[in-house]
């Protein structure tokens, strides 16, 4: 992106790291790179230009042309990246995808780019900063309330405890304690260097982290983007606009 394209009045460009999934379109099987439409819609409604970033080697080079980054949910992170062997319930994507997304996250942190990391995104942010994960949360909490087990897709619901004065409290705390809509079986264990926990579920599971000293780098464990609550997307857009 040239400096001329960064003039006054232009829309902030926010990258959304893509997910590669198999689909059948007009009777033909294919693999596509995509983003959740609500992420696109929320950011566009907040005045941004969302762009999907296919997770290929070298994708981190586009960070210089972005004003913000959203890393969404997806498959489990390869546990080898945080020094563990694979749990039987861990279901990863691909090593190439993990490496590409870690590179984008690293470039965004180094550039102090406004960043929102959701679900897998928060876990990957923690791993990028040297942290570790619980690979199967029911073995820690003793229940499946963060990802209810059953045939149908059902959200777990938790009222959050927010750290007073935190970024996440400034975004969500004005209307009383927020309730999450979550669907995850993994979670932060050891918190990475430079990150701090700023929200918790009643059972003590970390539900948000923030990068210390960063203008706006927030990770949330719940499914932001799969409910009507767009406050985090609006906050990311505002940070991208002010960058």
Domain of residue 19, CATH code: 3.40.50.880
Q: Answer whether 144's CB lies under 8 Å from 125's CB.
A: no
Instruction: Specify if 2 maps to a domain.
Output: no
pTM of the model: 0.93
| Structural domain range at position 28 | 10-242
- Count: domains in the chain: 1
Q: Among 226, 193, 230, which Cα is nearest to 212's?
A: 193
DSSP string, 89-113: T--B--HHHHHHHHHHHHHHHHTT-
The single residue listed with the structure tokens 């087990």 is 149
| Percent of the chain residues past pLDDT 90, beyond the cut | 84
- pLDDT category at 7 given cuts 50, 70, 90 is low
Q: Rounded to an integer, what distance in angstroms lies between the CA atom of residue 121 and that of residue 105?
A: 9
Instruction: Specify if 225 maps to a domain.
Output: yes
Q: Answer whether 213's CB lies under 8 Å from 47's CB.
A: no
- pLDDT category at 193 given cuts 50, 70, 90 is very high
Position 224 pLDDT exceeds 50: yes
Position 4 pLDDT exceeds 70: no
- pLDDT category at 243 given cuts 50, 70, 90 is confident
Position 2 pLDDT exceeds 50: no
Average of per-residue pLDDT across 20-46 = 94
Instruction: Please tell me whether residue 53 adopts helix, strand or coil conformation.
Output: strand
Average of per-residue pLDDT across 191-201 = 97
Instruction: Specify if 5 maps to a domain.
Output: no
């Amino acid at each position: 992106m040239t400096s001329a394209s960064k003039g006054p009045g232009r829309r902030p460009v926010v990258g959304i790291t893509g997910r590669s999934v198999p689909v059948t379109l007009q009777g033909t099987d294919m693999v596509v790179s995509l983003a959740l439409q609500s992420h696109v819609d929320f950011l566009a409604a907040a005045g941004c230009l969302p762009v999907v970033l296919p997770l290929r080697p070298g994708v981190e080079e586009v960070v210089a042309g972005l004003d913000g980054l959203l890393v969404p949910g997806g498959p489990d992170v390869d546990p080898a990246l945080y020094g563990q062997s694979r749990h039987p319930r861990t279901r990863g994507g691909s090593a190439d995808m993990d490496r590409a997304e870690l590179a984008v996250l690293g470039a965004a942190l180094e550039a102090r780019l406004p960043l929102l990391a959701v679900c897998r995104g928060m876990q990957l942010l923690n791993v990028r900063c040297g942290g570790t994960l619980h690979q199967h949360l029911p073995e820690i909490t003793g229940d499946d309330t963060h990802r209810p087990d059953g045939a149908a897709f059902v959200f777990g619901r938790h009222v959050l405890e927010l750290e007073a004065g935190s970024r996440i409290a400034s975004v969500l705390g004005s209307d009383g304690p927020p309730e999450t809509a979550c669907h995850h079986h993994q979670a932060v264990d050891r918190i990475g260097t430079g990150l701090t926990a700023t929200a918790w579920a009643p059972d003590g599971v970390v539900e948000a982290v923030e990068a210390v000293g960063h203008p706006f780098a927030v990770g949330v464990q719940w499914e932001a983007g799969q409910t009507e609550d767009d406050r985090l997307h609006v906050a990311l857009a505002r940070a991208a606009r002010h960058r």
